[in-house]
């Protein structure tokens, strides 16, 4: 299964490293990543593949939310199919 992860918050050192480390620990592969800093705010979107992970989707979501709270960020994950359906015109 593929999913979209979004990360938004005040720019600080180590955001990408922290999120990528968490994903690697859960055997989640990053397929694509885009990030930018706009007026001091960090934004990142990732396309990830969870097919090799043995961790439940809800547990991944909870771990990302907790990491975001720890770092003062908002981190969300959505299944790719749901993301696609929500953004169809």
pLDDT above 80 for 59: yes
Q: Supply angle C-alpha 84, 27, 50, rounded to 5.
A: 20
Widest CA span in the chain: 38
pLDDT above 70 for 31: yes
Q: Report, at the CATH architecture level, how domain 2-86 is classified.
A: 2-Layer Sandwich (3.30)
- Angle of the 57-71 helix axis to the 15-25 helix axis, nearest 10: 160
Region 43-58: what's the mean pLDDT?
96
CB 15 within 8 A of CB 44: yes
Residue 82's pLDDT band, with cuts at 50, 70 and 90, is confident
Which of 10, 73, 74, 20 minimizes the C-alpha distance to 42? 10
């Amino acid at each position: 299964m593929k999913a979209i992860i979004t990360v938004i918050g005040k720019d600080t050192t180590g955001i990408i490293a922290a999120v990528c480390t968490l994903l690697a620990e859960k055997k989640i592969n990053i397929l694509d990543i885009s990030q930018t800093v706009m007026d001091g705010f960090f934004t990142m979107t990732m396309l990830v593949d969870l097919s090799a992970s043995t961790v439940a989707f809800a547990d991944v979501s909870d771990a990302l939310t907790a990491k975001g709270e720890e770092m003062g960020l908002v981190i969300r994950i959505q299944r790719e199919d749901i993301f696609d359906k929500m953004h169809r015109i």
